[in-house]
Amino acid sequence: MSSLHSPDCYTPNKAEPKLFLIIVISLPNVNIYLIAPRCLIIKIAYKYMNPLNPSYDGMKDNLLTLLAQKAYKLGDFSLASGKKSSHYVNCKPVSLSGEGLFFISSLFLKQIDKDDNAVAGLTLGADPLVSGVVLLGAQSGINLSGLIVRKEAKGHGTGAWLEGPLPPKGSVITVLEDVVTTGGSSLKAVKKLRNEGYVVDRVLAIVDREEGGEDAMKKADLNLNSLFFLKEIVDRAKSL
């Protein structure tokens, strides 16, 4: 029989029956499904790994700890905005890890509106965020396109600014961002999307440094929703 990894498919040999009963066993933390005929699939679905289960606070707390441990540094830094700061947050060590991306994508997916046709973001920081949300959405029956906004137009072929399956003009798109300082990266993505005929009125971010980004969004008729403020990450780092 195949190992307990999903999806695994097992085809019985001639000596074994070709039909199986569907057996469902429900335990507090795991569901096991045996599905037939011909293919035996054993699916282990831990509740905390279900992107639509209600454990929002638990995932958010775990993500905060990951960010404090792996994304935050204290020192003297120059930020992408040109500002100087003693606090630096680089979300990529978290967003490019399996556990971190799962938490981020799950928390973002919970904030996606039913009117959203796609999620998008400026490369490079938003690349895993867009992919993660689209993947979890598909697993949860939520159909979303994922678009990556280039920093420069493609230098060959179509010269496109956008990569991904383009939805129809007029579609609603939510922009995803890792860290918002002044909002420049998000606003660049929004501008390109709007120029292509899409409706963008919201940005979802992992971290808001509270250094003018929200005000810049408001001036551009955007709502900024962030999972965390910088001070929350600083406080969690101090407590570890």
159 against 200, higher pLDDT: 200
What range does the domain containing 23 cover?
1-45
Tell whether 106 and 124 lie within a shared domain.
yes
The identity of residue 219, as a single letter, is K
Tell whether 147 and 41 lie within a shared domain.
no
Q: How many domains does the chain have?
A: 2
22 against 58, higher pLDDT: 58
3-state secondary structure labels for all residues of 69-109:
HHCEEEEEEECCCCCEEEEEECCHHHHCCHHHHHHHHHHHH
Average pLDDT, the chain: 84
Give per-residue pLDDT as tens, 52-111: 454 889 999 999 999 999 999 999 998 877 888 999 999 999 999 999 999 999 999 999
pLDDT band at 155 (very low <50, low <70, confident <90, very high): confident
Tell whether 23 and 102 lie within a shared domain.
no
Tell whether 13 and 107 lie within a shared domain.
no
> What mean pLDDT is predicted for residues 161-188?
97
Tell whether 82 and 197 lie within a shared domain.
yes
Tell whether 38 and 147 lie within a shared domain.
no
Strands (E), 156-212: 162-163, 172-180, 202-208
CA pair distance 55, 149, nearest whole angstrom: 32
24 against 216, higher pLDDT: 216
Q: What is the pTM of this model?
A: 0.78
pLDDT band at 35 (very low <50, low <70, confident <90, very high): very low
Tell whether 36 and 73 lie within a shared domain.
no
Tell whether 26 and 117 lie within a shared domain.
no
Tell whether 25 and 121 lie within a shared domain.
no
Instruction: Check which CATH number belongs to the domain holding 130 and give it.
Output: 3.40.50.2020
Tell whether 24 and 40 lie within a shared domain.
yes
Instruction: Specify the length of the chain in residues.
Output: 240
- Written as six digits, the tokens of 130 are 């867009």
pLDDT band at 228 (very low <50, low <70, confident <90, very high): very high
Sheet holding 116-122, edge to edge: 162-163, 145-149, 116-122, 172-180, 202-208, 223-229
Tell whether 27 and 73 lie within a shared domain.
no
> What mean pLDDT is predicted for residues 110-134?
97
> What mean pLDDT is predicted for residues 152-168?
90
CA pair distance 222, 180, nearest whole angstrom: 13
| Alpha helices (H) in 122-165, listed in sequence order | 127-139
Place of tokens 């490079």: 124
- Statement: residue 132 has pLDDT above 90: yes
Place of tokens 């962030």: 226
Tell whether 149 and 198 lie within a shared domain.
yes
Residue 14 pLDDT: 46
pLDDT band at 220 (very low <50, low <70, confident <90, very high): very high
